[in-house]
Every structure is written in C-alpha cells, then in structure tokens.
Structure 1
Amino acid sequence: MPTDPLPARVLARRQAIGDHIRAARTERKLTQETLAELVGVDRKTINRIEQGTHATSIDHLILIADALDTPLTDLVR
C-alpha cells in the first residue's frame, strides 16, 4: 500500500462505488447485515465500503455484485 495519501480522485471514485453499492442494496431492500452475510464479511466492512473508507478487493466487489444480482460494471461505473 502506498505510503503517500491517495489522490482525491481515487477517494472520490471509491465513494462513488460505495454509493452505487448502497443504492443497489437499498433498491433490493437488503440490510447491510444481510449483504454482509451473503458476501462473507462483517457488517462493518460493508458499511466502510459504502462510506468509501475501505479499499476493498476486486474479489469482494464481485461477490457484492453477485449478491445484489447486479453487473459489476454497474457498481464501478
């Protein structure tokens, strides 16, 4: 992991991805807890991903997209 702070554009994209995940989750009427169980992480991790404060792995993004029955591209657009 880089020792320098990430550029603002990276943090903004991370936040946008979190917003897309939250929107898809709420549209499907899932709680963070339920999504976390489907993905195999804890609720706090889902919260941090949605808030844009957690740099999640591509593996978790794939699992989240699958759990939400949403194309991965819709979450990272």
Structure 2
Amino acid sequence: MPRDLPDRIHQQRQDLGDRIRVLRRGLPATQEQFAEATGIDRRTLQRIERGTSDPRYSDLILIAEALGIAVADLVRE
C-alpha cells in the first residue's frame, strides 16, 4: 500500500524529474536512447522524469554518468 508523502517530497521528486528531462534533451537523446545508454528500462525512466517514481540510488548514478555530471549536481535543490 502506498504511503502518503508530504507535498514537499512530491515537489522535489517532480523537480528532479524535470531536471533529468531537461538535461537529457540537451544531449540530445530520446527517452529510448537514454534508456539504452543508462541500462534503465524506458518505462522506469518515464516514471522518474514524470516524478511519479522514486529512483533507486543506483539509477541516479547511471543517469548522472550518462549526463556527464555528478550525482550531487543531479539532486541539488
């Protein structure tokens, strides 16, 4: 059963997804191409970009590596 999260968590998750999408498009890469580059399932990547899924730390590492940035820069507030 999903737990209720504070609104600030939902907003931060959305902000992270937006940041990933903007950086991915700057490559430029489609979600499909980016999913291949990271090894993350395209549907999982879609959910992360939409802010509807909490990415695993290992996914954040793969995403940051594919973008050429540090994980810290990816998750900054």
Q: TM-score, normalised by structure 1?
A: 0.89
Correspondence 1:60 to 2:54: no
Which residues in structure 2 correspond to 1:23-38 (within 5 Å)? 23-38=22-37
Could you say which residue in structure 1 is the equivalent of 2:3? 4
Aligned partner of residue 5 in structure 2, secondary structure: coil
RMSD: 1.4
Output the CA distance in 2 between the equivalents of 1:39 and 1:32: 10
Please list every run of at least 4 consecutive aligned residues from structure 1 whose deviation after the TM superposition is greater than 6 angstroms: none
Deviation for aligned residue 1:74 = 2.2
Could you say which residue in structure 1 is the equivalent of 2:43? 44
Output the CA distance in 1 between the equivalents of 2:48 and 2:3: 21
Deviation for aligned residue 1:61 = 0.3
The amino acid across from 2:47 in the alignment is R
Deviation for aligned residue 1:75 = 1.6
**Count of residues paired in the alignment:** 76
Deviation for aligned residue 1:4 = 3.2
Q: TM-score, normalised by structure 2?
A: 0.89
Q: Unaligned regions of 5+ residues in structure 2, if any?
A: none
Identity %: 46
Output the CA distance in 1 between the equivalents of 2:35 and 2:71: 17
Output the CA distance in 1 between the equivalents of 2:49 and 2:28: 15
